[in-house]
């Protein structure tokens, strides 16, 4: 049946082709050599070098037209304007893993000096980023890291330690130094939240927080309704509660909504991590006195300066090197090329209207 043969041909071809791709060496995960190398080993940092003018600095966020990303890159633009560089913003409309690659390729062709990237996938962008670095482009990851071996530095918005400490500090302030507090978290196995709660527990054991008593940790699963009910339950079982700390944007908004409409308003303080836009009303109606989150604009701003410092030879990405980031001051590169933005920004009635995200 020659007809059947013709039908099978393409299938057979594909299979043969795929098999022919390799030298049939039986590669498995354990024996695979991981690609990727850093070329910054030979470079020497010159902290005294002047910042170059006219640097071409491009920002590639996870996706365009996302309010959070827009604020981040606005900070990047401010930094690039300050150092008299050329700012460019490109990015996909969808936050898929591979969509950023063709943009990186375009930026390589345009011979940018610096690419600031919030990676959608730490590995998918790697081959392209390394091609960019081979072409002399400096790579600054911000917000969401790329693999360590394909970027020069990473701007980390906050450390676990910093956030945990900040949460306890706010709780202590709002409780007046003593009383019962409770935590309303996301899911019981949320990595971020659990790490922060662990730091909080350590902080609460310190002598200066001896009068603060953590009476409950409940989970709203990052679901608005469940968080709302958990807040309600907390106040029924612990009528003397002074502060509810919610280290998740969903939880803090739901808790604030419950408290603002209940008789507990003014008696129980709500704090944690939230965005100004969702918390604005509760700050205005005095349900919420203060809460915290990192300032996305500062992330972009720091990324812009870090890129300029790299391109000017002030830093190479090694641990211990320092550079100056405009109005944010001096920064030191930590382990693994990480640069930590600093403690989270505190939002209250005085400053909340300066932020829109």
Partner 1 sequence: MSDLLKRFTGWDVAVIAVLVLFVVVASATVDNFASARNLSFLVLDLAPVLLIALPMTLIIVTGEIDLSVASTLGLSSAVMGALWDGGMSIELIVVVCLVLGAVLGAVNGLFVTVFGLPSLAVTIGTLALYRGLALVVLGDAAVAQFPGTWTGWVIGGNAGIPNIVWPLLLLLVVFGVVLHATPFGRSLFVMGANKEAARFGGIRVARTTFWLYVVCGVVSALAGILWTLRYSSARADNGSGLELAVVAAVLLGGVSIFGGRGTLWGVLGGVTLLAALQNALRLADVSNEALTVVTGLLLIISVLAPNAVGAIRSAASRRRPPGGAATSPAPPDPPAPASSPPVQSDPSSSPAVRSS
Work out how close the CB of 99 gets to partner 1 at its nearest, in angstroms, rounded to a whole number: 9
| Residue with smaller CB distance to partner 1, 17 or 50 | 17
Q: Does the protein bind partner 1 through residue 28 (CB under 8 A)?
A: yes
Q: Does the protein bind partner 1 through residue 24 (CB under 8 A)?
A: yes
Tokens 């641990």 — which residue? 319
Tell me the C-alpha to C-alpha distance, in Å, between residue 350 and each of 181, 243, 274.
25, 21, 16
Of all helices (H) and strands (E), which one includes residue 348? strand 345-348
Q: Does the protein bind partner 1 through residue 1 (CB under 8 A)?
A: no
149-188: which residues touch partner 1 (CB under 8 A)? none
Could you write out the DSSP letters of every residue in 153-170?
Answer: EEEES--HHHHHHHHHHH
Q: Does the protein bind partner 1 through residue 98 (CB under 8 A)?
A: yes
Q: Does the protein bind partner 1 through residue 103 (CB under 8 A)?
A: yes
Work out how close the CB of 156 gets to partner 1 at its nearest, in angstroms, rounded to a whole number: 20
Number of residues that bind partner 1 (CB under 8 A): 51
Sign of CA dihedral 255, 258, 260, 265: negative
Beta bridge partners of 88: 58
Q: Which residues of 81-98 are buried (b: 16+ CB within 10 A; e: fewer)?
A: eebebebbbbbbeebeee
Tell me the window of 121-129, 160-168, 179-187, 256-264 that interacts with partner 1 (CB under 8 A). 121-129
Q: Does the protein bind partner 1 through residue 189 (CB under 8 A)?
A: no
Work out how close the CB of 356 gets to partner 1 at its nearest, in angstroms, rounded to a whole number: 22
Residues 162 and 196: beta-carbon distance below 8 Å: no
Our CA angle for 71, 73, 74, nearest 5°, is 60
Q: Does the protein bind partner 1 through residue 93 (CB under 8 A)?
A: yes
| Residue with smaller CB distance to partner 1, 29 or 205 | 29
Work out how close the CB of 161 gets to partner 1 at its nearest, in angstroms, rounded to a whole number: 27
| Residue with smaller CB distance to partner 1, 127 or 343 | 127
Q: Does the protein bind partner 1 through residue 87 (CB under 8 A)?
A: no
Q: Which of 84, 89, 85 has its CA nearest to residue 106?
A: 89
Q: Which of 99, 183, 206, 118 has its CA nearest to residue 156?
A: 118
Q: Does the protein bind partner 1 through residue 94 (CB under 8 A)?
A: yes
Q: Does the protein bind partner 1 through residue 15 (CB under 8 A)?
A: yes
Work out how close the CB of 182 gets to partner 1 at its nearest, in angstroms, rounded to a whole number: 30
Establish how many alpha carbons lie within 13 A of residue 246's alpha carbon, considering only the half-sphere containing its beta carbon: 33
Given the rule CB under 8 A, which residues bind partner 1? Answer: 3, 6-7, 9-11, 13-15, 17-19, 21-24, 26-30, 32-35, 64, 88, 90-94, 96-98, 101-103, 105-106, 108-111, 121-124, 126-127, 147
């Amino acid at each position: 049946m020659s007809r059947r043969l013709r039908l099978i041909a393409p299938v057979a071809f594909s299979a043969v082709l795929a098999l022919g791709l390799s030298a049939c060496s039986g590669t498995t995960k354990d024996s695979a050599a991981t690609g990727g190398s850093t070329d910054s080993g030979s470079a020497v940092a010159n902290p005294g070098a002047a910042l170059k003018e006219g640097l071409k600095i491009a920002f590639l966020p996870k996706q365009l037209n996302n309010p959070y990303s827009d604020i981040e890159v606005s900070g990047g633009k401010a930094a690039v304007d300050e150092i008299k560089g050329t700012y460019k913003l490109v990015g996909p409309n969808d936050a898929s893993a591979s969509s950023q690659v063709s943009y990186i390729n375009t930026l390589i062709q345009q011979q940018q000096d610096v690419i600031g990237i919030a990676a959608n996938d730490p590995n998918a962008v790697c081959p392209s980023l390394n091609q960019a670095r081979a072409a002399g482009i400096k790579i600054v990851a911000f917000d969401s890291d790329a693999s360590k071996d394909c970027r020069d530095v990473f701007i980390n918005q906050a450390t676990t330690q910093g956030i945990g400490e900040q949460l306890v500090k706010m709780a202590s302030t709002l409780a007046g130094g003593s009383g019962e507090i409770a935590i309303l978290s996301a899911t019981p196995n949320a990595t971020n939240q659990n790490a922060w709660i662990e730091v909080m527990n350590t902080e609460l054991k310190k002598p200066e927080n001896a009068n603060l008593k953590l009476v409950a940790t409940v989970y709203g699963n990052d679901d608005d309704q469940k968080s709302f009910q958990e807040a309600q339950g907390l106040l029924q079982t612990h009528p003397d509660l002074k502060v509810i700390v919610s280290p998740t944007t969903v939880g803090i908004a739901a808790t604030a909504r419950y408290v603002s409409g209940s008789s507990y308003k003014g008696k129980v303080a709500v704090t944690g991590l939230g965005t100004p836009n969702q918390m604005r009303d509760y700050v205005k109606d005095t349900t919420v006195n203060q809460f915290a989150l990192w300032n996305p604009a500062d992330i972009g701003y720091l990324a812009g300066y870090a890129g300029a410092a790299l391109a000017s030879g002030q830093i190479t990405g090694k641990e211990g090197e320092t550079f100056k980031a405009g109005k944010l001051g001096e920064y030191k590169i930590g382990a693994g090329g990480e640069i930590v933005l600093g403690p989270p920004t505190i939002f209250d009635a005085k400053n909340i209207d300066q932020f829109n995200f």
